[in-house]
Structure 1
């Protein structure tokens, strides 16, 4: 597991790059005997389950869904019937999973039961605005969530109570994702699609790690 990079790849697959062996390993291509429907973003829970969104073509119809890939290779479909589920993140100090429903301009929040692979009491949490909506996201160590708002040229900071506290303007309109440089040197790193840039934002808090320990992956 050490040094491996997990990626949402083309051809509807979840893959892992193993730098020691210089190879890509395909981890998942199907759920319920069907091809994964354009997997988009991923996050690890505290037990090492890899949770990922599959928006497919769900901009107009609620056909998007979320899956969990366990370290033993099993894939489970969790919630369904969403309008373009996109970025997702696990809250650092509570068993909560946040998911962006891009084409409804909102974030959902629910209790994540990692042992049962269930997203419980999921409900709309924050309206972040359009014209398109939220994309990738990342938490800092204080529990604030930073969300890329696609086509709005902004990163929005949301506190643990679900209030938008800061808005960071960007040079391009289409931020797609963000992640913290855990060394602290570059702050929050943002990918921006309109201008094809990688941006660095100075923020007040250090980032929360995306993955903690091996948790079953070899």
Structure 2
């Protein structure tokens, strides 16, 4: 497999690719530039939404519009793309929202982190469609979140641990934590993830310049070397959910590769799972 350029960009911290099936477009964010981007691979159309504060992730809503994981909480954009309201407003100095994903039941699981990445300074929360919040974990850097094809297992990454963990998912509760795989030192840090139709977990390695695919048994069965040092996350999209889109960052790199910060794609990489829009 060889990565191609979907959108050439210089995102400071590209993150959170999510396929919007209803609109036929990919949603992704530039956290540090406070922007939500969309890309239509069929027509090439792109849009940019300025959020006014750091945005860790964005996902489609069932009724149209977006749910966004912002610095100060969880926000909602209406179908017009401009109307905004807070669903959860919980500003904490020095903390911001990071990665987030919508569960099969339509709830949002949103991670946060402190700017200094202090252990225990962030959290993983479940946000119900009505805005009710349940805190599931305390973390350092809340990152990749995804579910097995049957929805019974949730995978999760707290990047400094170097682990990809799994839980038995039961509504708002998580149980039976175990480790699917650990990324060895020198290979980078696990960041964002997605799960394919075979139940395998694809993980972007920050500072590792790779995408890895792990089987449900934790075996590493595929590694794709990328031209960028800091890939951040990945998601299947495009016709039939066959193409793997990869976000990347250029922040903190003295001499970044010319493609750092771009949206990359691995054509026909596998078979993705249909996503669920946020029910709120």
What's the CA shift string for 1:21-40, capped at 9, x where partnerless? 6322322122xxx7494221
**Residue in structure 2 matched with residue 154 of structure 1 by the alignment:** 210
Superposed, which structure 2 residues align to 1:35-74 within 5 Å?
Answer: 35=92, 37-57=95-115, 59-74=117-132
TM-aligned CA deviation for residue 54 of structure 1: 1.6
Asked whether the 8 Å contact 2:167–2:175 carries over to 1, the reply is yes
Matched, 1:7 2:68: yes
Q: TM-score, normalised by structure 2?
A: 0.67
Mind listing any 5+ residue stretches in structure 1 that lack a counterpart?
none
Contact conserved, 1:109 with 1:122, CA < 8 A, in 2? yes
Identify which of structures 1 and 2 has the higher relative contact order when contacts are C-alpha pairs closer than 8 Å and 6+ apart: 2
1:170 paired residue number: 226
Q: Unaligned 5+ residue runs, structure 2?
A: 1-61, 251-259
1:140 maps onto 2:200 in alignment: no
In the alignment, the residues of structure 2 paired with residue 207 and residue 64 of structure 1 have an alpha-carbon distance, to the nearest angstrom, of 29
For the residue of structure 1 that corresponds to 2:105, the secondary structure is coil
> Is residue 57–residue 84 contact of structure 1 (8 Å, CA) maintained in 2?
no
2:84 is the alignment partner of 1:27: no
What TM-score do you get using the length of structure 1 for normalisation?
A: 0.85
1:104-163 deviation digits (Å, cap 9, x = unpaired): 21111111111xx11101122211234441111111111111111101000001111111
Task: Say whether the 8 Å CA contact 1:87–1:135 is kept in structure 2.
Answer: yes
Report if aligned partners of 2:144, 2:194 keep a CA contact under 8 Å in 1.
no
Three-state SS of the structure 1 residue aligned to 2:97 is coil
Kept in 2, the 8 Å contact 1:130–1:151? The answer is no
Give 1:68 deviation, angstroms.
Answer: 0.7
Give the Cα–Cα distance (whole angstroms) in 2 for the partners of residues 202 and 21 of structure 1: 29
